[in-house]
Amino acid sequence: MVKGPTVGLFIRDYLLEHGPSSAYDLWKAWAEVRKHAGYKVPSYQNFYWNFIWRLKKMGLIKEVGRIKGKGRLSKVLLDIVPEKVNNPAWLSIQSAYAELRGYRTQKS
């Protein structure tokens, strides 16, 4: 089975193509890619904390607005920070975040 893009590159490319989107919309699109490729789909919570939250902490994406959602909740729209579109952290979000936090990453 051919492996697809990393989740970081997927998120970056999705935002570049579709413009500002909610974390939920990003997760739904990623879940569809994973399902189509025959891989397990991560939960929304897993996707949010492992990718969206880290991308925000590293300054690669930012909140750019809100739109009314269902009920009293609103959707937070996220977009790429333009200066960071070519940042190498998109290739491996977890490794880049670990380095940012001061954890050593070793490759075997």
Q: How confident is the model at residue 23 (pLDDT cuts 50, 70, 90)?
A: very high
Give the CATH number of domain 7-100: 1.10.10.10
pTM over 0.75: yes
Contact 53, 76 (CB under 8 A): no
39 CB contacts (<8 Å, ≥6 apart)? none
The candidate with the shortest Cα–Cα distance to 99, out of 87, 84, 89, is 89
Per residue in 25-59, pLDDT tens? 999 999 999 999 889 999 999 999 999 999 999 99
What SS3 class is residue 30?
A: helix
Q: pLDDT at residue 9 above 70?
A: yes
Q: What is d(CA 51, CA 92) in angstroms, rounded to the nearest whole number?
A: 10
